[in-house]
Structure 1
Amino acid sequence: MRRRSVLLALPAGLLTLAACGDDGGEGDGGSTSLPTGKEVKATGKIVDGPLPEITEGREFGQKPTIAKGEGDPSGDIAVQVVVAGTGAKVAEGDLLQVDYLGQKWDTAEVFDNSFDRGKPSVFPIGERFLIPAWDQVMVGQQVGSRVLMAVPPQFGYGEQGDPSGTIKGDDTLVFVMDVHDTFNASSSAKGKRAAQDDAALPKIGTNTDGKAPAIEVPKAAPPKELVSAYVLEGDGPEVTESDGVVVQYKGVLWDGGKEFDSTYARGEITQFGLGQVIQGWAQGLTGQKVGSRVMIVVPPELGYGEEGTDGIPGGATIVFSVDILAVTAV
């Protein structure tokens, strides 16, 4: 992402593959590093089994307990849709919001688990950021689905295993994945319209077609304090200061209304932790509900100060429209 954006001097594109760190999981909410990008997309044969049984937590959204694999696993990718969802289909290039649990076939040792973190994880799917089996199997799944899969090494971590040493090069892995949602450049907030009746504040469009909303800035002095107000009020959980968020946004200068940054213009949504953004965003999004479009008016001391940055003059008040699509663990 460009330096002039709300992020604090961070690189372009997605900041993290949320919850896929390298801290080595032991089934307690820690995570095991998922390998990133292969030059050639792997395509495996999909078969029905064998697959171990889910013995507890069988319903969508429940943390599952999975039995140890019996006998030899398949050399192909074994897949079963345990719960068939009826929501949107996951497309290549989407940000996929899932809860998941991963364990080893031979021992049933859980090595990674998002359920204990309390929030689903969000990953770019189908673009070789993740293990090949995830990219292949999850594209085309529907929101609301629970997918059980067994992944042989060549479609998981390969013969090198996981860099942390948790997963060996000959380990077949078993995953349960609950598909909570999927997001792309056309995603928008879907909340109820809120009143925008203060003539001293900007007016923001309420379209939900995935296109950038209009931002009309009044010809008046900007407020001296931070303003954060609903344009569309969603009904999801409230964002906390320790959360990550998935958003669409557009930013303009108060003085003249010139656009300086926009996910819509780049054709890609983004995600980040609130500790990684300007103070105006961190404060303005905390307490707001997922599914909302929020107007944030940021005074210079909570934005880019008297120095400014590329495209933003020193001392500038800036205005954002932010669609909060999801929260994630960071």
Structure 2
Amino acid sequence: MRRRSLLLAAVPAGLVTLAACGDGKSGSDKAGASPSPSVSAAPPPKIVEGPLPAITAGTKFGEKPTVAKGTGDPSADLAVKAVIVGGGRTIAENDFIQANYLGQIWSTGKVFDNSYDRHRPLVMQLAQGSIIDGWRYALAGKKTGSRVQIAVPPTWGYGKSGNPQAGIKGTDTLVFVIDVIDSFNSKSSVKGTEVPQTDAALPKVGTNTDGKVPSVTVPKTDPPKRLVSDYVLEGDGEEVKADQTILCQFQGLVWDGGKTFQRTYGSGRLSQFPVEQMQQIVKGLAQGVTGKKVGSRVLVVVPPDLGYGDTPPTGGVIKKGSTLVFTVDILAAM
């Protein structure tokens, strides 16, 4: 089982709403969130430049850093320093980020978490209730490609309760080094290479990369009886594994009539879902994205036996025996 990041204040809702969708054109994600150590709302912190302990090794972007133990008393404010200034997109509140990070305790230098050893960067939204507040305030306004070092007092970390699982006390200031790889928002699309769509028996999918809803033209023929998973735009990222969580834009339609039952494109939202969890809801969709490259737009046609079969969600356009058509922009995976 993949280890859950200690940074998360809550598990973000994802595409699991497919289990109870109606016409769903808004792509609303309302699955319940699992609680974990977090703090009550606090006023925005004053941001200062230090003090911050030295990075003594692994000083290049993407390298696992080694950080000295803090000396003296840490600031009661949020200390933030762009150690390496990137030249990418400026990060805004509520964006999703993809980042590697290392976290340790100021007073002891004990590393309590890092993503470098897992070889899977964090993918998380900079939103209240989704990640500790120190990250929200420290990274807003920074650019992708940056290495940012921060020192987070308890008020904007785990509060007075600390995080016993990680050995963090309620009085501990936390030191992080964060390599921000990429960022995404509701207008994001993949930028992969267009792949010819030559099979007239399959839906034709638009190749726009402006974050707007791709057109889908469903042929007036019988649907395939097998699962189809084809590239529309092929990215150059790593292949999605069955135990990963993906961040995506998506839309779902029924083959008969081509009506949309749910989508994120144009909704002001993105969706994040564990592939293993989707396996229990729409098995064909989980199988369709597994093995596909991050940065790709994928057409997935799901036959009834790998979709909802004879037990569709109530009150929507999906009926018994419906074949489902999905387009998925795989933005990131963790």
TM-score by structure 2 length? 0.87
Contact 1:99 1:180 in 2 (8 A): yes
The residue number in structure 2 matching 1:43 is 44
Contact 1:34 1:131 in 2 (8 A): no
Contact 2:240 2:293 in 1 (8 A): yes
Alignment of 1:269-280 (within 5 A): 269-277=270-278, 278-280=282-284
The residue number in structure 1 matching 2:306 is 302
Out of 309, 317, 324, the residue aligned to residue 330 of structure 2 is 324
Task: State the Cα distance separating 1:116 from its structure 2 match.
Answer: 1.6
The alignment yields a C-alpha RMSD, in angstroms, of: 2.2
Out of 21, 25, 29, the residue aligned to residue 12 of structure 1 is 29
Aligned length: 310
Contact 1:239 1:288 in 2 (8 A): yes
Contact 2:29 2:271 in 1 (8 A): no
The superposition leaves residues 209-267 of structure 1 with CA deviations (integer Å, 9 ceiling, x where unpaired) of 10010110000010000000011111111111111111100111100100011012532
Matched, 1:173 2:190: no
- Distance between the aligned counterparts of 1:134 and 1:66, measured in 2? 18
Task: State the Cα distance separating 1:318 from its structure 2 match.
Answer: 0.6
Alignment of 1:1-330 (within 5 A): 5=18, 12-13=29-30, 35=38, 38=40, 40-162=41-163, 164=165, 166-264=167-265, 266-277=267-278, 278-310=282-314, 311=316, 312-328=318-334
**C-alpha spacing 1:165/1:185, structure 2 compared with 1 (3 Å):** closer
| Deviates further, 266-275 or 161-170 | 161-170
The superposition leaves residues 11-38 of structure 1 with CA deviations (integer Å, 9 ceiling, x where unpaired) of 9347779xxxx9xxxxxxxxxx5526x3
- Distance between the aligned counterparts of 2:129 and 2:116, measured in 1? 24
Contact 1:41 1:128 in 2 (8 A): no
- Distance between the aligned counterparts of 2:178 and 2:64, measured in 1? 10
One-letter identity of the residue aligned with 2:104: Q
**C-alpha spacing 1:298/1:130, structure 2 compared with 1 (3 Å):** same
The superposition leaves residues 270-300 of structure 1 with CA deviations (integer Å, 9 ceiling, x where unpaired) of 1111111121111111111111100000000
TM-score by structure 1 length? 0.88
The superposition leaves residues 63-88 of structure 1 with CA deviations (integer Å, 9 ceiling, x where unpaired) of 11111011111111111111111000
Consecutive unaligned residues of structure 2, counting only runs of 5 or more, are 1-13, 22-27
One-letter identity of the residue aligned with 2:172: D
The secondary structure found in structure 1 opposite 2:212 is coil
Contact 2:65 2:177 in 1 (8 A): yes
| Deviates further, 127-136 or 190-199 | 127-136
One-letter identity of the residue aligned with 1:291: G
Consecutive unaligned residues of structure 1, counting only runs of 5 or more, are 23-32
**Divergent runs of 4+, >6 A:** 14-17
- Distance between the aligned counterparts of 2:306 and 2:273, measured in 1? 18
Task: State the Cα distance separating 1:173 from its structure 2 match.
Answer: 0.8
**C-alpha spacing 1:13/1:116, structure 2 compared with 1 (3 Å):** farther
Identical amino acids, percent of aligned pairs? 52
The secondary structure found in structure 2 opposite 1:294 is strand
The superposition leaves residues 301-328 of structure 1 with CA deviations (integer Å, 9 ceiling, x where unpaired) of 1111122223210100010110000011
| Deviates further, 277-286 or 252-261 | 277-286
- Distance between the aligned counterparts of 1:64 and 1:150, measured in 2? 15
Contact 1:4 1:309 in 2 (8 A): no
Contact 1:128 1:135 in 2 (8 A): no
The secondary structure found in structure 2 opposite 1:164 is helix
